[in-house]
Amino acid sequence: MEVLMPEPQIYVERTLAIIKPDAIGKEEEIEDLILQSGFHIIQKRKLQLSPEQCSNFYAEQFGKMFFPNLTAYMSSGPIVAMVLARNCAVSYWKELLGPSNSLRARITHPHSLRALYGTDELRNGLHGSLSISSAEKEIRFIFPEAILEPVPTGQRARDYLNLYVKPTLLAGLTALCKEKPADPMIWLADWLIEHNPNKPKLQYHISQ
């Protein structure tokens, strides 16, 4: 008797990234850096938030002295919001962003995104979620249709690896042995990207 098993799923950590109004002109350049850093852009949306929406998004900052300027700044022009996915997405994105103060970032983290594209302490070019829980909350705020999977454990994770990861990896290693490239690690990485059967599709949601 054949036992039918549901298609296994595996969780990939996600975080919310926002290109703020002062950096919107560098959108394509920033996206290229994001992709080069190992992230997948799962969803993307260009929109302009109202002051009320900004107040709700930054509700945890309510009462702080900079709050009125923050909401005014974030509602001053269009933004690009993206759901980024990769292993340890939240921490890697925070590291790529650098310090929240762009002026300080230029001194301590000169190659960070905020050092490159931010203006000052308030207008720092980009937003990143502070934790996994805040990422989930912020993604649902910007992308209410988003489905965030629970983290699989035990047999579900093993099933996914056996069905989807190991066959692709084995095929890649076999091709590597036949090709015998000068730099096997880079060749294998490129091969896996090209032949990834579960490569997420980039989705655009444009709001006028």
Known catalytic residues are 127
> Longest Cα pair distance anywhere in the chain, in angstroms?
67
Q: What is the dihedral of CA 186, 84, 126, 26, to 10 degrees?
A: 60
Tokens of 152: 């699989």
CA 150, 151, 154: angle at the middle one, nearest 5?
A: 130
Residues 6+ apart with CB under 8 A from 15: 83, 84, 89, 90, 93, 128, 129, 135
Strand partners, 80: 19, 46
